[in-house]
A and B are shown apart, each in its own frame.
Chain A
Amino acid sequence: MASISASGPARGRPAGPSLRSALRRVAEAAVTPLELGDVFDVFHPLRGGRDGLQGRIVSVTAETAESATILIRPGRDWAGHVPGQYVRIGVDVDGVRLWRTYSLTHGPRRDRNLSITVKAIPDGVVSNHLVHRARAGQMVQLEQAEGEFVLPTPIPRKLLLVTAGSGITPVIGMLRNLFSRRVPVDTDIALVHVNQNESSAMFRDELRAHGTAGHLRLVERYDDRHGILDVDHLDELVPDLRERLTYACGPAGLLDALEKHHADRGLSLTTERFRPTLATLAGDGQSGGTVTFADGREVDADGATPILDVAEGAGVLMPSGCRMGICMGCVVPMTSGAVRDLRNGAITTAVPGETGPDGIPIQTCISAAAGACEIRETR
């Protein structure tokens, strides 16, 4: 289409789009105050062009007692992904829409479906729901895939992958993609896969099969058997560590240690963090304040609760995303007041007249009130 119109207006063609938009206008006038999309939603929620991407759960398959793979049929507008990326997913848990982020555990599939593998964490509202209560046929909300934790092209000759617990999820996506290629990838892969015990290890049998087939060198480490992994002894597990490009995903403790280890030795490292590290603030740094929202609501917030939680608790409709300070999906302007970054205690202030008419954008999911503040939430 673009090339045709670039060569000049073709005769007879302009009627197409204008007729279409005229028809659309008539259809819209026939269903107001609904939007045309609301009507289509009744029949085809996975259609393209929908305002807000959705998906339908195709199947839920248990991986271990506490984890499951959810296969999702995304709407037509799903733009695809690169293995290692994650997706933000909105799930209705007990009637309430909650958003979380999960790594995609497959490369792009021929059936266009997505898969995420979820480990139910203690008190994890969404993860427990997905593992134990999600059923085929249920709808979920989706965002497009995001994330920088992807392998470079061309694929490096020698790779070291370090994963712990559910940190395997982006990596299994990479591996499945690499091993399913028609032309085998000539890469020497070592995978150090850390788990608390053997029974809780996700994808254990699949990884072992790859190991046996010679696709990769698998080093299984179990805390109950081998003790907590000490990264200073990593070269005992992977002697040629220095020749490998390292990708790691897991809890903050492991990644912090690995970052130090690699920095000390001048090695390159790419990591994916699942949870933010929240700094504990002491003393006076804890007091909160009254938060005023655009719809006029005023809510008292303490200094330790994210403004997003405070707002949602009061019924204010807020944009939200990962809830851990990484996706920027919850950013809204603060027109006046001060907030504290719960991760590091950093204070952000907005002074009307001084800090710009549109306020200061803040991440509500990791910012707590540090005094009275005004939030202009947008949708």
Chain B
Amino acid sequence: MTTITKKPDNPIAHLTPEDIEQIGYELDAIRQDVLDDRGDRDAAYIRRVITVQRRLELGSRAVLLGSALPPLWVLGTLGLSVSKILENMEIGHNVLHGQWDWMRDPKIHSTTWEWDMATPAEQWKHSHNQVHHTYTNIVGQDNDLGYGIMRVDEDQRWVPAYLLQPLWNFINACFFEYGIAAYDLELGRNLRIPKEKRPPEFRDNVRKVLGKIRRQATKDYVVNPALALPFGAFVPTLAANFVANVVRNVWSHSVIMCGHFPEGVETFERASIADDESRGEWYLRQMLGSANISGSPLLHLMSGNLSHQIEHHLFPDLPSNRYAEIAPKVRALFEKYDLSYCTRPMPQQVYSAWHKVVRLSLPNGWLATTTTRNLPSQLKLLWAMSTKGPKVRRAAQARLTQQARKLAATA
């Protein structure tokens, strides 16, 4: 991915400033239609999802009491995984966005909600709602791009450490909730600077995260297994909780990777965003910076409707059950203004996102210029680039870029 302003064929070059403002008006109208119609049906929806999720969780935990029997272990683990996914994705994420605040129900409100997640709701709301949703896909400002640990853009200089980024990404997927907590704390940045220069609230936030992690771990790995102890199912229950957490982590990591990582999603240069970015310009950035997953209603539910990432980024506070309904209107708007609406089935989006992670873990152009025939020499080159210092790296990079350009020209 290359920031949009550095691309040879800028995909928004054909839009006039008036077009962009008009897009803003038309999106505002779509939003208003939903607000006007929002009511009983939506309230009943979220209450039903919450009730189903809670029953599923309690039921699954009850089944796990008997998880010394393998079929019950499988059933309970499956139910707990699904329940944890629902709790984080369709319920937690969306309630914390304030999508249901309009109901004025203090029990389903962004200011009172807490979720089954390592990161406390309060901190996540800041890093996600405020930072990621405002500065979506601006390189250097939106930390959701690679979570500060990965190379997500050709313009970021390649160093050998990035070779490991597919591995980091995989580990991050398995322990995603802790990755998110570290990321909400800006742990990496804060640990690098001297103690006295860290923001005063940092220590307090670390304490809160550790407290939350302790409570979460006590629930999943101590209390619930202990309850199964009389049935001889301590270890199976512990394992079931661990598996359910990993399943939930890998699933949500995959869904979230599909939102902003696949090929076709644009990134933006900090300098190219005006300080007084208009509503229309902001909308446009959201339209180009997000990707959808196409699929069944079940997929939409399990992804917390983040399968409608484009609609979600345009209207983060509309009830999630409405995204599917407005998607055709939004898509028509993309077509009207000749913009590309990035949507693919989940396996393709996940592949695309992972492909990008792997491609960018390697020097620019390396993957494109590698064939099975020249693999040995390419590997030798990569080895040299990784071990022989910046000078060699620069020279090799220049050659790779040239070759890749030639290859692109002949193709």
Contact = CB atoms under 8 A, between A and B. Distances in A.
A70 B38 CA distance: 26
A237 interface: no
A30 B104 contact: no
B101 A317 contact: yes
B106 A30 contact: no
B219 A32 contact: yes
A34 B215 CA distance: 11
Contacts of A379: 106, 111-112
Interface of A: 26, 29-34, 38-39, 42, 52, 92, 94-98, 295, 312, 315, 317, 379
Given A42-B55, A379-B106, 9 more contacts: A26-B223, A29-B223, A33-B114, A33-B116, A38-B54, A42-B54, A96-B39, A317-B111, A317-B112
Interface residues on B, range: 35 or more
B115 interface: yes
A96 B104 contact: yes
Contact of A92 (B43, B61, B114, B222): B43
A369 to B, nearest CB: 21
A89 to B, nearest CB: 14
Contacts of B39: 94-96
B58 interface: yes
User: Of residues A26, A94, A379, which shows the largest number of chain B Cβ atoms within 10 Å of its Cβ?
Assistant: A94
A95 B54 contact: no
Interface of B: 38-44, 51, 54-55, 58, 61, 98, 101-107, 109, 111-112, 114-116, 212, 215-216, 218-219, 222-224, 227, 317
- 6 pairs of A and B residues whose beta carbons are closest in the complex: A95-B43, A94-B39, A33-B114, A97-B104, A30-B223, A95-B39
B126 to A, nearest CB: 11
A358 B325 CA distance: 46
Contacts of A295: 111
Contacts of A312: 104
A32 B215 contact: yes
A92 B43 CA distance: 9
Given A30-B224, A42-B55, A315-B102, A95 B107 contact: no
Given A29-B219, A42-B54, A95 B227 contact: no
Nearest to B120: A33
Contacts of A34: 54
Contacts of B104: 96-98, 312, 317
Nearest to A312: B104
A30 B54 CA distance: 13
Contacts of B227: 30
A98 B102 CA distance: 11
A117 B105 CA distance: 25
A24 to B, nearest CB: 13
A94 B36 CA distance: 11
B58 A42 contact: yes
A236 B290 CA distance: 78
A32 B223 CA distance: 11
Nearest to A379: B106
Q: Chain B: interface secondary structure?
A: helix
Contacts of B103: 92, 95-97
Contacts of A30: 61, 219, 223-224, 227
Contact of B40 (A32, A39, A94): A94
Contacts of B54: 34, 38-39, 42
Given A38-B107, A95-B40, A315 B224 contact: no
Contact of A315 (B43, B51, B101, B107): B101
Nearest to B226: A26
A94 B317 CA distance: 18
Given A39-B54, A95-B40, A31 B102 contact: no
A295 B130 CA distance: 13
Contacts of B212: 33
A111 to B, nearest CB: 28
Contacts of B115: 33
A32 B224 contact: no
A38 B114 CA distance: 12
Contacts of B224: 30
B359 to A, nearest CB: 39
Nearest to B105: A97
18 contacts: A29-B223, A30-B223, A30-B224, A31-B219, A32-B215, A33-B114, A33-B212, A33-B216, A34-B54, A38-B54, A92-B105, A94-B39, A95-B42, A97-B104, A97-B105, A315-B102, A315-B317, A317-B106
A317 to B, nearest CB: 5
Contacts of B215: 29, 32-33
A39 B58 contact: yes
A287 to B, nearest CB: 27
A52 B104 CA distance: 14
Given A26-B223, A29-B215, A33-B114, A315 B38 contact: no
Contacts of B38: 95
Contacts of A94: 39-40
Nearest to B40: A95
B235 to A, nearest CB: 18
A105 B103 CA distance: 29
Contacts of B43: 92, 95-96
A321 B15 CA distance: 51
B123 to A, nearest CB: 14
Contacts of A29: 215, 218-219, 222-223
A34 B53 CA distance: 12
B39 to A, nearest CB: 4
A39 B44 CA distance: 18
Contacts of A95: 38-44, 102-103
Contacts of B219: 29-32
A92 B104 CA distance: 9
B352 to A, nearest CB: 34
Contacts of B51: 42
B302 to A, nearest CB: 21
B339 to A, nearest CB: 30
A29 B54 CA distance: 16
Contacts of A98: 104
A84 B224 CA distance: 50
Contact of B109 (A32, A39, A317): A317
A32 B216 contact: yes
A26 B103 CA distance: 32
A379 B112 CA distance: 9
A317 B38 CA distance: 18
Nearest to B109: A317
Contacts of A39: 54, 58
B114 A315 contact: no
A177 B42 CA distance: 42
A128 B103 CA distance: 19
A295 B107 CA distance: 17
A30 B225 CA distance: 10
Nearest to B112: A379
A40 B61 CA distance: 15
